[in-house]
Structure 1
Amino acid sequence: MEPIFCGTSPIVGFRFSMHPMSDNFIRILKTALAETDTSNVWMQTDDVSTVIRGKQHHVFNVAKALVLHAAKTKEHIALSGTFSIGCPGDSAGDNYLEVEDELANTDPASQYVSSQFALYPMNNPDYMAVIYREVERAKAHGVWNDSMHYASGIHGDIHEVFKFYEESFTQARTDEHPHLVMTVSMSINSPSHIGGQHA
């Protein structure tokens, strides 16, 4: 199996762990997986996390759907994950770059999400300018929440939050610097969320 070196493949990956704060966490996770159409992505789960790989819009679509279906239980859901593109690694899932562009998951249900993200434009000496630009983009999208150490706060409806994350993931990389990592942490249905805001 030939390795993929930085920038040679447009495949996007998302490795994440989702934690339902409930005694029924197994049922919640299995139900979310069953209700999400994952046919457009390569997916593998181990005892720590799950990784999905494929075309960018399919990876973000599946990630959002999994979170949304888990959140419908009204239980407190926490998620932590890393999006990556242009990273060295194996070629598992490259065949999913050939699937059609039509999105598999189109549930319009609304859901408030409180989250944090951090961008890492690899090998880009002007990385801080990239980060500042994406912070301004979050403000323009109306999903900006707060500045904090090592991350930026993003909140709002799940569809608007994921729309921003995907756009930022696209805009934060260039042909010259194609290797990008973006970390995301989310909290949904937390007892500290009051009226769609965090306490």
Structure 2
Amino acid sequence: MTATFFLIRHAAHDNVGSFLAGRTAGVSLGEAGRSQVQRLGQRLRREDINEIYTSPRERTRETAVGIASACGLSLPQSDDALDEVNFGNWSGKTFDVLNDDPLWRRWNTTRSLTRTPGGETMLDVQARIFGLIETLAGRGNDRRIALVSHADVIKAAVSHVLGLPIDAWPRFDIAPASVTTFVVGDWGAKMITLNEVPL
């Protein structure tokens, strides 16, 4: 049994990097993000993807629909395992405001032991994303599956595959509209690409 997974971070919204979007409703792709989706579609057309799953957030759904259209796939299936970290009342706040919050600073120092105001640690996030991956990998051989999600969720999956502690998250980037690829088999999992940004 083998399955290839393409973990795709959603394309950019207009204010990416200025505030914590989290699970805030109504955060859609901006003009730059829509261009990124076109490039993602062109890049992923050559991968013979069988199916596509997405986080329920607007920005991920818009990214996934664009990829599905470019690849001739049916509409993406939404799965809560791909959802953004539940940041609770941190969602929607600017990073300037968050940096004054001691819990936010602790979260960014020791995510393995710190719960967000929404009640999740990064180990919780890692368990849900890999639970989905294990389920999908077990449904058949040689499947090629796109998962459209969020930076921290993808970082949790990458850390698991590479055997890194969850607190190693600052050591690598997951850019907007990037593709990270790994293969899962009976022998384990291995990384193929990390943070590939189609040009």
TM-score (norm 2): 0.30
Q: Which structure has the highest helix share of the two?
A: 2
More strand as a share of residues: 1
Q: TM-score, normalised by structure 1?
A: 0.30
